[in-house]
Amino acid sequence: MKNYEFSTGAGITEKLTVSASCTGCGFCTRVCPMKNIELTEGKPHFNSNCVSCGACLQNCPLNAIHHRDEKSAARYRNPHIKPEELTYR
Ligand code: SF4
Ligand code: SF4
- Distance (angstroms) between ligand 1 centre and the Cα of 43 equals 7
Alpha carbon distances (Å) from 53 to 23, 41, 56, 72, 83: 22, 25, 8, 17, 16
Q: Is the CB of 27 under 6 A from ligand 2?
A: no
Average pLDDT over residues 56-69: 97
Average pLDDT over residues 60-82: 96
pLDDT at 6: 75
Specify whether the CB–CB gap between 66 and 13 falls below 8 A. Answer: no
Q: What is the pTM of this model?
A: 0.92
- For residue 4, pLDDT beyond 90: no
Domains and CATH numbers, the chain: 1-68 (3.30.70.20)
- Distance (angstroms) between ligand 2 centre and the Cα of 32 equals 5
Q: What is the mean pLDDT of the chain?
A: 94
CA 35, 37, 40, 41 torsion-angle sign: negative
- Distance (angstroms) between ligand 2 centre and the Cα of 50 equals 5
